[in-house]
Protein backbone atom coordinates (compact mmCIF):
# COMPACT_ATOMS: atom_id res chain seq x y z
CA UNK A 1 0.00 0.00 0.00
CA UNK A 2 1.26 3.47 -0.93
CA UNK A 3 0.04 6.87 0.30
CA UNK A 4 -0.57 9.99 -1.74
CA UNK A 5 -1.20 13.66 -0.99
CA UNK A 6 -4.64 15.26 -1.29
CA UNK A 7 -2.99 18.09 -3.25
CA UNK A 8 -1.58 15.94 -6.00
CA UNK A 9 2.18 15.88 -5.18
CA UNK A 10 3.72 13.05 -7.20
CA UNK A 11 5.51 11.14 -4.42
CA UNK A 12 4.01 7.86 -3.25
CA UNK A 13 5.09 6.86 0.28
CA UNK A 14 4.83 3.83 2.52
CA UNK A 15 3.22 3.76 5.96
CA UNK A 16 6.33 4.10 8.12
CA UNK A 17 7.58 7.01 6.00
CA UNK A 18 4.45 9.06 6.70
CA UNK A 19 4.08 7.83 10.31
CA UNK A 20 6.54 10.39 11.71
CA UNK A 21 5.71 13.13 9.18
CA UNK A 22 3.03 15.81 9.39
CA UNK A 23 1.77 17.33 6.15
CA UNK A 24 2.83 16.15 2.70
CA UNK A 25 5.47 18.38 1.00
CA UNK A 26 2.76 20.22 -0.95
CA UNK A 27 0.79 21.02 2.23
CA UNK A 28 -1.75 18.24 1.57
CA UNK A 29 -2.79 15.34 3.80
CA UNK A 30 -1.89 11.72 3.18
CA UNK A 31 -4.47 9.12 2.14
CA UNK A 32 -4.06 5.56 0.89
CA UNK A 33 -4.05 5.15 -2.91
CA UNK A 34 -7.20 3.05 -2.55
CA UNK A 35 -9.40 1.72 0.23
CA UNK A 36 -9.03 -2.07 0.66
CA UNK A 37 -12.41 -3.70 0.01
CA UNK A 38 -14.08 -5.91 2.60
CA UNK A 39 -16.44 -8.39 0.95
CA UNK A 40 -18.99 -10.57 2.76
CA UNK A 41 -16.54 -13.35 3.57
CA UNK A 42 -13.90 -10.90 4.81
CA UNK A 43 -16.45 -9.13 7.01
CA UNK A 44 -17.41 -12.49 8.50
CA UNK A 45 -13.74 -13.16 9.30
CA UNK A 46 -13.41 -9.75 10.99
CA UNK A 47 -16.53 -10.46 13.06
CA UNK A 48 -14.93 -13.75 14.13
CA UNK A 49 -11.70 -11.96 15.07
CA UNK A 50 -13.57 -9.48 17.27
CA UNK A 51 -15.30 -12.49 18.82
CA UNK A 52 -18.07 -10.56 20.52
CA UNK A 53 -15.51 -8.48 22.41
CA UNK A 54 -13.97 -11.40 24.27
CA UNK A 55 -10.49 -10.72 25.72
CA UNK A 56 -8.03 -10.11 22.87
CA UNK A 57 -10.82 -9.70 20.29
CA UNK A 58 -10.40 -5.97 19.77
CA UNK A 59 -6.61 -6.32 19.37
CA UNK A 60 -7.13 -9.10 16.82
CA UNK A 61 -9.60 -6.95 14.88
CA UNK A 62 -7.19 -4.00 15.01
CA UNK A 63 -4.40 -6.17 13.61
CA UNK A 64 -6.59 -7.47 10.77
CA UNK A 65 -7.60 -3.95 9.72
CA UNK A 66 -4.21 -2.29 10.19
CA UNK A 67 -2.44 -4.99 8.19
CA UNK A 68 -4.54 -4.06 5.14
CA UNK A 69 -2.84 -0.65 5.22
CA UNK A 70 0.60 -1.37 6.66
CA UNK A 71 3.00 -3.58 4.70
CA UNK A 72 6.31 -2.27 5.99
CA UNK A 73 6.08 -3.67 9.54
CA UNK A 74 6.44 -7.47 9.83
CA UNK A 75 3.10 -9.09 10.70
CA UNK A 76 4.32 -10.59 13.97
CA UNK A 77 5.57 -7.16 15.13
CA UNK A 78 2.35 -5.39 14.17
CA UNK A 79 0.35 -8.06 15.96
CA UNK A 80 2.47 -7.58 19.10
CA UNK A 81 1.97 -3.78 18.94
CA UNK A 82 -1.83 -4.22 18.75
CA UNK A 83 -1.84 -6.76 21.60
CA UNK A 84 0.23 -4.46 23.76
CA UNK A 85 -2.00 -1.43 23.06
CA UNK A 86 -5.58 -2.67 23.36
CA UNK A 87 -5.71 -4.34 26.77
CA UNK A 88 -8.32 -4.43 29.47
CA UNK A 89 -5.71 -3.01 31.86
CA UNK A 90 -5.48 0.19 29.76
CA UNK A 91 -9.10 0.52 28.54
CA UNK A 92 -11.03 -0.90 31.46
CA UNK A 93 -13.11 -3.60 29.74
CA UNK A 94 -12.38 -6.68 27.57
CA UNK A 95 -14.52 -5.23 24.75
CA UNK A 96 -12.37 -2.04 24.85
CA UNK A 97 -15.29 -0.08 23.27
CA UNK A 98 -18.47 -1.57 24.82
CA UNK A 99 -21.90 -0.47 23.59
CA UNK A 100 -24.35 0.92 26.15
CA UNK A 101 -27.99 0.59 25.14
CA UNK A 102 -30.12 3.66 25.82
CA UNK A 103 -33.25 2.65 23.88
CA UNK A 104 -34.06 -0.11 21.43
CA UNK A 105 -31.79 0.48 18.46
CA UNK A 106 -30.10 3.48 20.14
CA UNK A 107 -26.63 3.01 21.63
CA UNK A 108 -23.61 4.83 23.00
CA UNK A 109 -20.23 3.40 21.99
CA UNK A 110 -17.83 3.98 24.91
CA UNK A 111 -14.57 5.30 23.46
CA UNK A 112 -13.42 7.14 26.54
CA UNK A 113 -12.26 4.62 29.09
CA UNK A 114 -8.58 5.02 28.23
CA UNK A 115 -6.02 6.74 30.49
CA UNK A 116 -7.23 10.32 29.84
CA UNK A 117 -10.97 9.57 29.57
CA UNK A 118 -11.40 10.89 26.03
CA UNK A 119 -11.60 9.07 22.69
CA UNK A 120 -8.22 10.43 21.57
CA UNK A 121 -6.61 7.67 23.68
CA UNK A 122 -7.96 5.08 21.22
CA UNK A 123 -5.53 6.24 18.55
CA UNK A 124 -2.84 7.95 20.60
CA UNK A 125 -2.04 4.85 22.67
CA UNK A 126 -1.29 2.95 19.46
CA UNK A 127 0.70 5.88 18.09
CA UNK A 128 2.95 5.84 21.17
CA UNK A 129 3.80 2.20 20.58
CA UNK A 130 4.26 2.69 16.81
CA UNK A 131 6.58 5.67 17.37
CA UNK A 132 8.72 3.79 19.88
CA UNK A 133 8.95 0.81 17.52
CA UNK A 134 9.84 2.78 14.39
CA UNK A 135 12.33 5.11 16.11
CA UNK A 136 14.16 2.12 17.63
CA UNK A 137 14.27 0.45 14.21
CA UNK A 138 15.82 3.58 12.68
CA UNK A 139 18.03 4.36 15.66
CA UNK A 140 16.51 7.85 15.76
CA UNK A 141 14.91 10.14 18.33
CA UNK A 142 11.96 12.51 18.08
CA UNK A 143 10.95 15.57 20.07
CA UNK A 144 7.21 16.09 19.86
CA UNK A 145 6.10 19.70 20.13
CA UNK A 146 2.42 20.48 20.54
CA UNK A 147 -0.09 23.00 21.81
CA UNK A 148 -3.17 21.99 23.72
CA UNK A 149 -6.19 23.44 25.43
CA UNK A 150 -7.05 20.07 26.97
CA UNK A 151 -7.74 16.63 25.51
CA UNK A 152 -5.05 16.31 22.83
CA UNK A 153 -2.14 17.23 25.07
CA UNK A 154 -3.01 14.84 27.85
CA UNK A 155 -3.73 11.98 25.42
CA UNK A 156 -0.34 12.56 23.77
CA UNK A 157 1.50 12.68 27.10
CA UNK A 158 -0.13 9.52 28.45
CA UNK A 159 0.68 7.75 25.17
CA UNK A 160 4.33 8.85 25.05
CA UNK A 161 5.26 8.72 28.75
CA UNK A 162 8.24 6.47 29.35
CA UNK A 163 8.62 5.66 25.62
CA UNK A 164 12.21 5.31 24.47
CA UNK A 165 13.44 7.76 21.83
CA UNK A 166 10.52 10.16 22.32
CA UNK A 167 10.23 13.41 24.28
CA UNK A 168 7.12 15.57 24.52
CA UNK A 169 7.13 19.36 24.88
CA UNK A 170 3.50 20.38 25.39
CA UNK A 171 2.47 24.03 25.52
CA UNK A 172 -0.77 25.01 27.25
CA UNK A 173 -2.25 28.40 28.20
CA UNK A 174 -1.24 29.12 31.81
CA UNK A 175 -4.17 28.82 34.22
CA UNK A 176 -6.79 28.31 31.52
CA UNK A 177 -7.37 24.56 31.55
CA UNK A 178 -9.76 23.02 34.06
CA UNK A 179 -8.17 21.96 37.39
CA UNK A 180 -8.82 18.33 36.45
CA UNK A 181 -7.08 18.69 33.08
CA UNK A 182 -4.13 20.51 34.64
CA UNK A 183 -3.81 17.81 37.26
CA UNK A 184 -3.94 15.07 34.61
CA UNK A 185 -1.06 16.56 32.65
CA UNK A 186 1.08 18.21 35.29
CA UNK A 187 1.14 15.27 37.68
CA UNK A 188 3.14 13.19 35.19
CA UNK A 189 6.65 12.79 36.56
CA UNK A 190 8.15 10.95 33.57
CA UNK A 191 11.43 12.47 32.50
CA UNK A 192 10.51 12.52 28.82
CA UNK A 193 7.39 14.65 29.40
CA UNK A 194 7.77 18.44 29.54
CA UNK A 195 4.78 20.63 30.38
CA UNK A 196 5.23 24.28 29.44
CA UNK A 197 2.53 26.69 30.62
CA UNK A 198 2.58 29.79 28.42
CA UNK A 199 1.51 33.15 29.81
CA UNK A 200 -1.13 33.75 27.15
CA UNK A 201 -4.09 32.10 25.43
CA UNK A 202 -4.26 28.91 23.34
CA UNK A 203 -3.62 30.86 20.11
CA UNK A 204 -0.32 32.12 21.55
CA UNK A 205 0.71 28.50 22.16
CA UNK A 206 -0.25 27.53 18.62
CA UNK A 207 1.64 30.49 17.17
CA UNK A 208 4.80 29.39 18.96
CA UNK A 209 4.44 25.84 17.59
CA UNK A 210 3.98 27.31 14.09
CA UNK A 211 7.04 29.56 14.47
CA UNK A 212 9.19 26.64 15.58
CA UNK A 213 7.91 24.47 12.71
CA UNK A 214 8.74 27.22 10.23
CA UNK A 215 12.30 27.46 11.59
CA UNK A 216 13.55 24.61 9.40
CA UNK A 217 17.12 24.69 10.69
CA UNK A 218 15.97 24.41 14.32
CA UNK A 219 13.42 21.78 13.40
CA UNK A 220 16.02 19.58 11.72
CA UNK A 221 18.73 20.10 14.34
CA UNK A 222 16.36 19.20 17.18
CA UNK A 223 14.30 16.53 15.40
CA UNK A 224 10.99 18.23 16.04
CA UNK A 225 7.80 16.33 15.21
CA UNK A 226 4.08 16.49 15.98
CA UNK A 227 1.18 14.19 16.82
CA UNK A 228 -1.71 16.32 15.60
CA UNK A 229 -5.00 14.99 14.31
CA UNK A 230 -3.97 15.01 10.65
CA UNK A 231 -1.60 12.07 11.31
CA UNK A 232 -2.81 9.17 9.13
CA UNK A 233 -1.91 6.54 11.73
CA UNK A 234 -4.28 8.17 14.23
CA UNK A 235 -7.08 8.16 11.70
CA UNK A 236 -6.42 4.54 10.77
CA UNK A 237 -6.52 3.40 14.41
CA UNK A 238 -9.97 5.01 14.69
CA UNK A 239 -11.35 2.98 11.76
CA UNK A 240 -11.22 -0.12 13.99
CA UNK A 241 -13.89 1.00 16.47
CA UNK A 242 -16.46 1.57 13.71
CA UNK A 243 -16.15 -2.15 12.93
CA UNK A 244 -16.29 -3.06 16.65
CA UNK A 245 -19.39 -0.87 17.10
CA UNK A 246 -21.03 -2.42 14.04
CA UNK A 247 -20.42 -5.99 15.25
CA UNK A 248 -21.91 -5.21 18.66
CA UNK A 249 -25.02 -3.50 17.25
CA UNK A 250 -25.85 -6.28 14.73
CA UNK A 251 -25.94 -10.04 14.59
CA UNK A 252 -25.90 -10.37 10.79
CA UNK A 253 -23.58 -8.68 8.30
CA UNK A 254 -26.54 -7.88 6.08
CA UNK A 255 -27.81 -5.25 8.54
CA UNK A 256 -26.97 -1.55 8.28
CA UNK A 257 -26.01 0.75 11.15
CA UNK A 258 -25.80 4.56 11.37
CA UNK A 259 -23.26 6.47 13.46
CA UNK A 260 -23.43 9.97 14.95
CA UNK A 261 -20.09 11.59 15.71
CA UNK A 262 -19.45 14.70 17.87
CA UNK A 263 -17.11 16.54 15.53
CA UNK A 264 -14.49 19.26 15.58
CA UNK A 265 -11.57 18.67 13.25
CA UNK A 266 -13.41 15.92 11.33
CA UNK A 267 -10.80 13.31 12.38
CA UNK A 268 -13.16 10.94 14.14
CA UNK A 269 -15.92 10.96 11.53
CA UNK A 270 -13.37 10.79 8.69
CA UNK A 271 -12.38 7.36 10.06
CA UNK A 272 -16.07 6.42 9.73
CA UNK A 273 -15.95 7.56 6.12
CA UNK A 274 -12.92 5.30 5.53
CA UNK A 275 -14.72 2.33 7.16
CA UNK A 276 -17.75 2.95 4.95
CA UNK A 277 -15.58 3.18 1.82
CA UNK A 278 -14.04 -0.18 2.75
CA UNK A 279 -17.51 -1.70 2.61
CA UNK A 280 -18.65 -1.70 6.26
CA UNK A 281 -22.49 -1.52 6.01
CA UNK A 282 -22.87 2.00 7.42
CA UNK A 283 -26.07 3.68 6.30
CA UNK A 284 -25.59 7.23 7.54
CA UNK A 285 -22.71 9.18 9.10
CA UNK A 286 -24.18 12.05 11.08
CA UNK A 287 -21.80 14.92 11.85
CA UNK A 288 -22.77 16.68 15.10
CA UNK A 289 -21.30 20.12 15.80
CA UNK A 290 -21.69 22.61 18.62
CA UNK A 291 -22.11 26.37 18.08
CA UNK A 292 -18.96 26.22 15.94
CA UNK A 293 -20.93 24.88 13.01
CA UNK A 294 -18.45 25.05 10.10
CA UNK A 295 -19.20 21.43 9.17
CA UNK A 296 -22.96 21.56 9.69
CA UNK A 297 -23.07 24.59 7.43
CA UNK A 298 -21.15 22.73 4.72
CA UNK A 299 -23.34 19.63 4.78
CA UNK A 300 -26.50 21.76 4.73
CA UNK A 301 -25.47 24.32 2.12
CA UNK A 302 -22.32 23.26 0.26
CA UNK A 303 -20.45 26.33 1.53
CA UNK A 304 -17.27 25.80 3.57
CA UNK A 305 -16.37 28.96 5.46
CA UNK A 306 -13.39 29.27 7.80
CA UNK A 307 -14.29 31.35 10.86
CA UNK A 308 -12.26 34.28 12.16
CA UNK A 309 -11.32 34.30 15.84
CA UNK A 310 -14.15 36.73 16.69
CA UNK A 311 -16.51 34.19 15.11
CA UNK A 312 -15.12 31.16 16.96
CA UNK A 313 -17.09 30.53 20.13
CA UNK A 314 -15.85 29.25 23.48
CA UNK A 315 -18.44 26.62 24.37
CA UNK A 316 -19.17 24.01 27.02
CA UNK A 317 -18.05 21.30 24.57
CA UNK A 318 -14.60 22.89 24.15
CA UNK A 319 -12.90 20.05 22.27
CA UNK A 320 -15.15 20.85 19.32
CA UNK A 321 -14.38 24.60 19.30
CA UNK A 322 -12.73 24.95 15.91
CA UNK A 323 -12.51 27.68 13.28
CA UNK A 324 -11.77 25.19 10.49
CA UNK A 325 -11.78 21.39 10.34
CA UNK A 326 -8.25 20.24 9.60
CA UNK A 327 -9.15 16.73 8.40
CA UNK A 328 -12.01 17.84 6.17
CA UNK A 329 -9.68 18.11 3.16
CA UNK A 330 -9.47 14.30 3.10
CA UNK A 331 -13.20 13.92 2.55
CA UNK A 332 -13.30 16.71 -0.05
CA UNK A 333 -10.54 14.90 -1.96
CA UNK A 334 -12.78 11.82 -2.27
CA UNK A 335 -15.87 13.94 -2.94
CA UNK A 336 -14.12 15.64 -5.88
CA UNK A 337 -13.14 12.33 -7.44
CA UNK A 338 -9.61 12.54 -5.95
CA UNK A 339 -8.73 15.54 -8.10
CA UNK A 340 -5.65 16.97 -6.33
CA UNK A 341 -5.62 20.14 -8.46
CA UNK A 342 -9.13 21.07 -7.41
CA UNK A 343 -8.39 20.31 -3.75
CA UNK A 344 -5.31 22.49 -3.98
CA UNK A 345 -7.35 25.31 -5.49
CA UNK A 346 -9.84 25.08 -2.61
CA UNK A 347 -7.57 24.47 0.37
CA UNK A 348 -4.30 26.06 -0.77
CA UNK A 349 -3.70 29.78 -0.92
CA UNK A 350 -7.25 30.35 -2.20
CA UNK A 351 -8.74 29.31 1.11
CA UNK A 352 -6.50 31.45 3.26
CA UNK A 353 -7.24 34.45 1.02
CA UNK A 354 -10.98 34.03 0.60
CA UNK A 355 -11.67 32.00 3.73
CA UNK A 356 -14.39 30.04 1.94
CA UNK A 357 -15.35 27.90 -1.01
CA UNK A 358 -18.75 27.08 -2.42
CA UNK A 359 -19.70 23.68 -3.83
CA UNK A 360 -23.46 24.28 -3.70
CA UNK A 361 -23.76 24.36 -7.50
CA UNK A 362 -21.27 21.53 -8.06
CA UNK A 363 -22.85 18.14 -8.89
CA UNK A 364 -20.32 16.57 -6.47
CA UNK A 365 -22.02 18.25 -3.49
CA UNK A 366 -25.20 16.18 -3.87
CA UNK A 367 -23.02 13.07 -3.58
CA UNK A 368 -21.96 13.98 -0.01
CA UNK A 369 -25.38 12.84 1.17
CA UNK A 370 -26.45 10.51 -1.64
CA UNK A 371 -23.30 8.50 -2.25
CA UNK A 372 -21.25 9.07 0.92
CA UNK A 373 -24.16 8.99 3.40
CA UNK A 374 -23.36 12.22 5.28
CA UNK A 375 -25.94 14.18 7.29
CA UNK A 376 -25.36 16.83 9.94
CA UNK A 377 -26.82 18.82 12.77
CA UNK A 378 -25.94 21.35 15.43
CA UNK A 379 -26.33 21.63 19.19
CA UNK A 380 -26.16 24.59 21.58
CA UNK A 381 -25.41 25.02 25.28
CA UNK A 382 -29.15 24.86 26.08
CA UNK A 383 -29.53 21.66 24.01
CA UNK A 384 -26.53 20.17 25.82
CA UNK A 385 -28.04 20.83 29.27
CA UNK A 386 -31.45 19.44 28.21
CA UNK A 387 -29.89 16.32 26.72
CA UNK A 388 -27.66 15.61 29.73
CA UNK A 389 -30.71 15.97 31.99
CA UNK A 390 -32.97 13.86 29.80
CA UNK A 391 -30.50 10.99 29.42
CA UNK A 392 -29.81 11.01 33.15
CA UNK A 393 -33.49 11.07 34.13
CA UNK A 394 -34.61 8.40 31.68
CA UNK A 395 -31.59 6.07 31.70
CA UNK A 396 -29.58 6.93 34.82
CA UNK A 397 -26.57 7.44 32.54
CA UNK A 398 -24.39 10.56 32.84
CA UNK A 399 -22.98 11.75 29.53
CA UNK A 400 -20.42 14.45 28.90
CA UNK A 401 -21.08 17.66 26.98
CA UNK A 402 -19.60 16.47 23.64
CA UNK A 403 -21.50 13.19 23.74
CA UNK A 404 -24.63 15.22 24.54
CA UNK A 405 -24.18 17.16 21.28
CA UNK A 406 -24.04 13.77 19.55
CA UNK A 407 -27.16 12.41 21.25
CA UNK A 408 -29.13 15.59 20.50
CA UNK A 409 -28.29 15.48 16.79
CA UNK A 410 -28.62 11.68 16.51
CA UNK A 411 -32.23 11.87 17.69
CA UNK A 412 -33.00 14.10 14.70
CA UNK A 413 -31.74 11.42 12.30
CA UNK A 414 -33.29 8.18 13.57
CA UNK A 415 -34.73 5.82 10.98
CA UNK A 416 -36.94 2.86 11.83
CA UNK A 417 -35.10 -0.42 11.41
CA UNK A 418 -31.56 1.05 11.41
CA UNK A 419 -29.69 1.04 14.73
CA UNK A 420 -28.04 4.36 15.64
CA UNK A 421 -24.70 4.35 17.46
CA UNK A 422 -23.55 7.62 19.06
CA UNK A 423 -19.82 7.79 19.74
CA UNK A 424 -19.16 8.75 23.37
CA UNK A 425 -16.06 10.92 23.12
CA UNK A 426 -15.32 11.80 26.77
CA UNK A 427 -16.45 11.02 30.31
CA UNK A 428 -18.46 13.65 32.25
CA UNK A 429 -15.82 14.07 34.98
CA UNK A 430 -13.68 16.03 32.48
CA UNK A 431 -16.38 18.69 32.14
CA UNK A 432 -17.80 18.67 35.67
CA UNK A 433 -18.88 22.33 35.74
CA UNK A 434 -21.50 21.86 33.02
CA UNK A 435 -22.69 18.58 34.53
CA UNK A 436 -23.33 20.38 37.82
CA UNK A 437 -25.16 23.11 35.90
CA UNK A 438 -27.37 20.49 34.21
CA UNK A 439 -27.95 18.03 37.05
CA UNK A 440 -27.10 19.88 40.26
CA UNK A 441 -24.75 17.09 41.21
CA UNK A 442 -21.15 16.11 40.59
CA UNK A 443 -20.25 13.46 38.03
CA UNK A 444 -18.76 10.16 39.20
CA UNK A 445 -15.01 10.08 39.34
CA UNK A 446 -13.23 6.85 38.35
CA UNK A 447 -11.21 5.51 41.29
CA UNK A 448 -7.80 6.15 39.74
CA UNK A 449 -8.55 9.89 39.61
CA UNK A 450 -9.43 10.42 43.26
CA UNK A 451 -7.47 13.34 44.64
CA UNK A 452 -5.34 14.01 41.55
CA UNK A 453 -5.68 17.78 41.98
CA UNK A 454 -3.59 17.47 45.16
CA UNK A 455 -0.66 15.63 43.53
CA UNK A 456 2.66 17.44 43.04
CA UNK A 457 2.88 19.24 39.69
CA UNK A 458 5.71 19.35 37.18
CA UNK A 459 5.31 22.36 34.88
CA UNK A 460 7.46 25.22 33.62
CA UNK A 461 5.74 28.59 33.31
CA UNK A 462 7.15 30.75 30.51
CA UNK A 463 6.34 33.99 28.69
CA UNK A 464 4.87 33.72 25.19
CA UNK A 465 8.18 34.05 23.35
CA UNK A 466 9.26 31.55 20.70
CA UNK A 467 12.96 32.07 21.47
CA UNK A 468 12.45 31.17 25.12
CA UNK A 469 10.63 27.95 24.18
CA UNK A 470 13.34 27.06 21.68
CA UNK A 471 16.03 27.58 24.30
CA UNK A 472 14.16 25.33 26.72
CA UNK A 473 13.82 22.58 24.10
CA UNK A 474 17.49 22.84 23.14
CA UNK A 475 18.51 22.52 26.75
CA UNK A 476 16.32 19.48 27.43
CA UNK A 477 16.47 17.48 24.24
CA UNK A 478 19.97 16.06 24.27
CA UNK A 479 20.32 12.85 26.24
CA UNK A 480 22.34 13.32 29.43
Ligand X SMILES: *Cc1c(COP(=O)(O)O)cnc(C)c1O
For residues 111 and 93, is the Cβ–Cβ distance under 8 A? no
DSSP string, 411-459: HTT-BTTB-EEEEE-B-GGGGHHHHHHHHSSPPP--GGGTTGGGS----
Q: Which CA distances in Å does 12 have to 8, 22, 32, 232? A: 10, 15, 9, 14
User: What residues from 101 to 120 belong to the interface with ligand X (CB under 6 A)?
Assistant: 118, 120
Report the relative pairing of strands 193-199 and 460-463 from DSSP bridges. parallel
Nearer to ligand X, 404 or 473 (CB): 404
Q: Which is nearer to ligand X, 13 or 378 (CB)?
A: 378
In angstroms, the CA 222 to CA 220 distance is: 5
Q: What share of the chain is helix, strand, coil (3-state, %, to 5)?
A: 50, 15, 35
CA–CA distance, 420 with 148 (Å, rounded to integer):
32
Residues numbered 239 to 268 that lie near ligand X (CB under 6 A) are 262-268
Sequential DSSP letters for 319-374: GG--SS-TTHHHHHHHHTTT-HHHHHHHHSHHHHHHSEEE-TTSHHHHHHHHTT-E
Between 64 and 157, name the residue whose CB sits nearer to ligand X. 157
**Residue number with CB closer to ligand X (24 or 404):** 404
Q: Shortest gap between Cβ of 76 and ligand X (angstroms)?
A: 31
Q: Rule CB under 6 A: which of 312-341 touch ligand X?
A: 319-320
Q: Check residue 122 for interaction with ligand X (CB under 6 A).
A: no
Pairing of strands 257-262, 282-289: parallel
Smaller CB separation from ligand X, 262 or 443: 262
The minimum distance between CB 454 and ligand X, in angstroms, equals 25
**Closest distance to ligand X from the beta carbon of 43 (Å):** 25
Give the active site residue among 54, 84, 101, 120: 120
Smallest distance from ligand X to CB 146, Å: 13
The SS3 call for residue 82 is helix
Site string for ligand X, 373-412 (x = CB under 6 A): -----------------------------x----------
Least Å distance, CB 443 to ligand X, is: 14
Nearer to ligand X by Cβ, of 192 and 228: the residue is: 228
In this structure, the number of other CB atoms found within 10 A of the CB of residue 334 comes to 21
Integer Rg of the chain from CA: 21
Of 64, 134, 151, 334, which one interacts with ligand X (CB under 6 A)?
A: 151
CA distance 190 to 90: 18
In the complex, minimum distance from the CB of residue 317 to ligand X, in angstroms, rounded to a whole number: 7
User: What residues does 420 pair with on adjacent strands?
Assistant: 106, 258
User: Which one among 426, 429, 438, 462 touches ligand X, defined by CB under 6 A?
Assistant: 426
120 carries an active-site annotation: yes
Give me the residue whose beta carbon is nearest to ligand X: 267
Site string for ligand X, 434-463 (x = CB under 6 A): ------------------------------
Closest approach of Cβ 466 to ligand X, in Å?
Answer: 26
Q: How many Å is the maximal CA-CA distance in the chain?
A: 63
With CB under 6 A, what is the number of residues at the site for ligand X? Answer: 16
Q: Which of 192, 228, 229, 289 is in the footprint of ligand X by CB under 6 A?
A: 229
Residue 230 near ligand X by CB under 6 A: no
Residues with a known catalytic role:
120
Residues near ligand X (CB under 6 A): 118, 120, 151, 229, 262-268, 319-320, 402, 425-426
Amino acid sequence: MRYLSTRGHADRKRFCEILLEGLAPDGGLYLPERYPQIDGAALQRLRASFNGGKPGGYAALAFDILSLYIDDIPAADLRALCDKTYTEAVFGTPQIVPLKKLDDGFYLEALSNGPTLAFKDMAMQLLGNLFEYELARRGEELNILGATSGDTGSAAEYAMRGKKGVRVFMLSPHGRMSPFQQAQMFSLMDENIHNIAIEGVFDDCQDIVKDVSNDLAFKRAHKIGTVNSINWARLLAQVVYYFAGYFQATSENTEQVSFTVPSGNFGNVCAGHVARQMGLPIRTLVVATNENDVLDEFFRTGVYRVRGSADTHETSSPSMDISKASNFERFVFDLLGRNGDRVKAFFGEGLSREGRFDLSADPAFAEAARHYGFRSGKSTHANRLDTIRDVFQRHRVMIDTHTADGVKVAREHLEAGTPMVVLETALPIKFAETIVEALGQHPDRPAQFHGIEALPKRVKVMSARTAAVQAYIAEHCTPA
